[in-house]
Structure 1
Amino acid sequence: MSQDYHHILVAVDLTPDSKRVLERALPVARRNDNAKISIIHTLEPLGFAYGGDIPMDLTSIQDQLDEHARERLAEVADPYDIPRENQHVVVGMPDAEIHRFAKANDVDLIVVGSHGRTGFALLLGSTSTGVLHGACCDVLAVRVGAEGEAAE
Structure 2
Amino acid sequence: MADYKHVLLVTDLREDSDQLFEKAKLMMELGEKIKLSILHVVQESILTAGYEIVPIVPASDESELVQQARGKIDALLTRFAITTDAVYIETALSTRRGILDYVESNAPDLLIIGRHTRHGLAALLGATADDVLPAVNCDVLVVKLGAPV
TM-score by length of 2: 0.81
Moved more, 21-30 or 45-54: 45-54
The equivalent residue for 1:145 is: 146
The equivalent residue for 2:64 is: 64
The 1:91–1:53 alpha-carbon spacing in structure 2 relative to 1, beyond 3 Å, is: closer
The equivalent residue for 1:10 is: 9
Residue 13 of structure 1, CA deviation: 0.9
What's the CA shift string for 1:10-33, capped at 9, x where partnerless? 111111211111111222233222
Q: Is the 8 A contact 2:118 2:126 kept in 1?
A: no
Partner of 2:130: helix, strand, or coil? helix
Q: Is the 8 A contact 1:70 1:89 kept in 2?
A: yes
Aligned length: 143
Partner of 2:77: helix, strand, or coil? helix
Partner of 1:10: helix, strand, or coil? strand
The equivalent residue for 1:104 is: 105
The equivalent residue for 1:81 is: 82
CA separation in 1, counterparts of 2:144 and 2:48?
27
CA separation in 2, counterparts of 1:77 and 1:49?
37
CA separation in 2, counterparts of 1:69 and 1:102?
20
Give the RMSD, CA atoms, in angstroms.
2.6
Partner of 2:36: helix, strand, or coil? strand
The 1:114–1:48 alpha-carbon spacing in structure 2 relative to 1, beyond 3 Å, is: farther
* Residue ranges of structure 1 left out of the alignment (5+ in a row): 148-152
* Residue ranges of structure 2 left out of the alignment (5+ in a row): none
The equivalent residue for 1:132 is: 133
